[in-house]
Structure 1
Amino acid sequence: MSNVTQYVQTGLERFLETPPRWIFGYRLGLLGNPASVDRQFRHARELINQRFPGKLTTLYSPQHGFFSEKQDNMIESDHMTDPVLGIPVFSLYGETRIPTREMFENTDILIIDLQDAGTRVYTFVYTASYCLEVAKKFGKKVLILDRPNPVGGSVTEGNCLSPECASFVGRYPIPMRHGLTIGELLTLFNDHYGIGCDLEVIPMKGWDRSMYFQDTGLPWIPPSPNLPTPTSAMVYPGQVLWEGTNISEGRGTTQPFEIFGAPFIDTERILSSLGHRQLPGAILREIAFEPTSNKWSGSLCKGFQIHITDPHEYQPYITSLKLLQAIRFHHKEQFKWKSPPYEYEFERLPIDLLIGSAEIRQRMEKFDDLDEIAASWRIALEEFIHITREFHIYTRARI
């Protein structure tokens, strides 16, 4: 990361400063949550309502709810009335994940202002993709207010999703760490993968692809309850894999995804198989913790905290795969893949949906060399990088 914090203006701030002329007079809907704020922490719904009095008619919420109050996966939120504006809030993670005609009835233009996590399995972008499909169907326009990719835009990492592993944690063949802003990613979905709705993006000002969130000068508002800090977002593209296992990913603690473990883990044996505590761009620190909820609630877990020492060297996906493989090797009897259901999939293994490939999971079960496994996805990853250059809004990373 650079030592000098840059001033980044979000799509929300630019939109309010200079709205497109075509938007005036239309009824507006907003898909957002608590992270939909400007740098003074003012929420988008209030700012849009002030800028376009009486035109904001409908709100929509992704997973975790409009106030990000729901903690875990498959914990649905209900429709409600916004206590500030008195307008309906439709949950897109409840009785349906796809907007209905009735939900779009009073919306001419849907504004999307969501903070993405830069990771394939983060559901907000798939909620947005369903909104694009419904907007296309009913002749609505969509406006994306762009925000930073918290793990930067200069690195892509991991295998691209295999079609047989498509789910609500992966609808399109993208890698685990996609290196795009939400505006770029949704334009890719819309134009390259054929949604074809009337879509525009209000870009940020001052962001470039080398920036991690800490470089932006923007306040971090957790986009979901278990990404409390920019560091949790930085480890998430790898640490999310623990959700497909019986290893705690740190839910029910104050440092989800940064810490992980289980009662049966022998930390010394894990470190011996890795060679040392130092990993590329990170250090593993042995810890003990007791989750207050979720896996191993109330039980003493032994494991590690990942301390990032150099974000440019740290590769979250391959790092977590190697940690997972080490734990499987030393704890063959105790380690288990999590059983379904997971994100509304009731038959397929959660780990296959998370990795995005049953074949990679099967190779890991045989303890194939992970560097060889990584080499097998390189061609598809390079193809993805080539395709997405066309959709880059922002400059390449500074050298």
Structure 2
Amino acid sequence: MNPVIGSPTESNSVPIEMGIDRWVHQRPDCLRKADLGLLMNRASVDRELRFSCDVVAQSMPGQLKALFTPQHGLWGDAQANMVETDHGWHHGLGVPIYSLYSETRRPTAEMLAGIDCLIVDLQDVGTRVYTYFWTLLECLRACADAGVSIVVLDRPNPIGGVVVEGPLLDESCFSFVGGATIPMRHGLTIGEAAVWFRSEFAIDVELHVVTMEGWSPNAFYQDLGRHWIPPSPNLPTAESALVYPGQVLLEGTNLSEGRGTTTPFEIIGAPFVDPEVLLAAIPTDALPGVRFLPLYFRPTFDKWAGQTCGGVSMHVTDRQRFRSYRTSVQLILAIQRLWPGDFRWLPPPYEYETRLPPIDIISGGDQLRLATASAESIDALCQVDEQAWNDRVQGFYLYSRS
């Protein structure tokens, strides 16, 4: 069975049409007269900025029976790392809201009872540790068990579908921020991931993907002519998503990634960091496409809340050449070398993993944690076999790569 609905096309014109924009005209037969569930959050909007739940409810009256939400909740108001959201009720639509970041991270049989098809419309951000891929994987498995079909309304990878970064995740570090051997920056859309997951894990589920029209894997979100609606509270801009594949490594350290400031993930620092000293130690010639400025900042919450931190801000000048993972590894190792008595790798728990160090499940293994700032090759720590990864997934691409 071909899971792809519609014929995806590419162009340089904007704006593109996403799955939610095309689905009325490309609607799979399994939706007709079906009782529907919808996995979404506040970033799930069409080109007119209508929420997907309203689009579905208006175009298929009486068929929407439940909403499901990922980490951060329907409104994206909940913070990260095991800050769970409650189940609720959507009074306007008269349907329950089931949280898949609560006592469960998979739809239960009770949640899926009475549902014939689960529609998934989530804006992913192109980084392995972002949990929306893994919520999708759990939905595929749960729907297979319950005999429920799945329709994925595809959305763009906001940091493009060509560049791959970061080593493959080691199976020993599988967790809810990584459930398959993929790189940190993987280049897949959520629709492509769904098709690959079904094959990779031999999940016996009826799957359909409503593709986009006009999206090129070479494009960044800033090129698309669409509003960026934050899919989570600490990715407020498309720029923050671009630096996220590397800056998320800071969650495994005692360095602030800027949570509690207006520019999360675009800055790095701690009270013990001297901005000018750090700036002088950054090998800028080896980090194309980015510039750094010294700064002081004071987070209002999270690490170092209320304390003045020294550090640098990150400014991407060339999206095509910028490599977030390599950049953040360089920054972390520079700080570790300059302030060895203050720098720390954080202990567990992290995203429901209570045994392994957080940096291991974030980076994909123990190599970064065990590295020494002066002796380890940055190339070795950042290496990924792009061709091998592309060979694994190219059969599941819905949009051609150049």
TM-score by length of 1: 0.95
Aligned counterpart, 2:384: 378
**Offset from partner CA, 1:253-289 (integer Å, 9 cap, x none):** 1110011210100222222222459931010111111
Aligned counterpart, 2:394: 389
Aligned counterpart, 2:247: 239
Superposition map of 1:156-235 within 5 A: 156-235=164-243
Matched, 1:89 2:97: yes
Select which of 71, 75, 78 maps to 1:67: 75
SS at match of 1:22: helix
Q: Give the aligned residue type for 2:59.
A: R
Aligned counterpart, 2:6: none
Superposition map of 1:354-369 within 5 A: 354-364=362-372, 367-369=375-377
Aligned counterpart, 1:151: 159
SS at match of 2:396: coil
CA–CA distance in structure 1, aligned partners of residues 350 and 82 of structure 2 = 8
Backbone CA RMSD of aligned residues: 1.5
CA–CA distance in structure 2, aligned partners of residues 331 and 360 of structure 1 = 17
SS at match of 1:328: helix
Q: Give the aligned residue type for 1:114.
A: L
Contact 1:277 1:284 in 2 (8 A): no
Select which of 109, 125, 150 maps to 2:133: 125
CA–CA distance in structure 1, aligned partners of residues 362 and 384 of structure 2 = 18
Contact 2:275 2:311 in 1 (8 A): yes
Question: Higher mean Cα deviation, 191-200 or 364-373?
Answer: 364-373
Q: CA deviation at 1:72?
A: 2.4
Contact 1:158 1:176 in 2 (8 A): yes
The structure-2 alpha-carbon separation of the partners of 1:359 and 1:62, relative to structure 1 and needing over 3 Å to count, comes to same
**Offset from partner CA, 1:292-341 (integer Å, 9 cap, x none):** 00000000011111100000010001111111110101010000011111
Q: CA deviation at 1:83?
A: 2.5
**Offset from partner CA, 1:119-151 (integer Å, 9 cap, x none):** 000001101110100111111100000000000
Contact 1:119 1:177 in 2 (8 A): yes
Contact 1:278 1:284 in 2 (8 A): no
Aligned counterpart, 2:357: 349
Q: CA deviation at 1:70?
A: 0.4
TM-score by length of 2: 0.94
Superposition map of 1:9-158 within 5 A: 9-158=17-166
Aligned counterpart, 1:270: 278
Aligned residue pairs total 391
CA–CA distance in structure 2, aligned partners of residues 188 and 41 of structure 1 = 29
Contact 1:262 1:296 in 2 (8 A): yes
Q: Structure 2: which 5+ runs fail to align? A: 1-11
SS at match of 1:307: strand
CA–CA distance in structure 2, aligned partners of residues 61 and 275 of structure 1 = 42
Contact 1:58 1:106 in 2 (8 A): no
**Offset from partner CA, 1:350-372 (integer Å, 9 cap, x none):** 00010011134213467412123
Contact 1:5 1:215 in 2 (8 A): no
Select which of 317, 332, 335 maps to 1:309: 317
SS at match of 1:164: helix
Aligned counterpart, 1:288: 296
Q: CA deviation at 1:63?
A: 0.3
CA–CA distance in structure 2, aligned partners of residues 252 and 131 of structure 1 = 32
Q: Structure 1: which 5+ runs fail to align? A: none
Question: Higher mean Cα deviation, 270-279 or 320-329?
Answer: 270-279
Q: Give the aligned residue type for 1:68.
A: G
Aligned counterpart, 2:339: 331
Q: CA deviation at 1:218?
A: 1.3
Contact 1:35 1:222 in 2 (8 A): yes
The structure-2 alpha-carbon separation of the partners of 1:366 and 1:358, relative to structure 1 and needing over 3 Å to count, comes to farther
Contact 1:271 1:277 in 2 (8 A): no
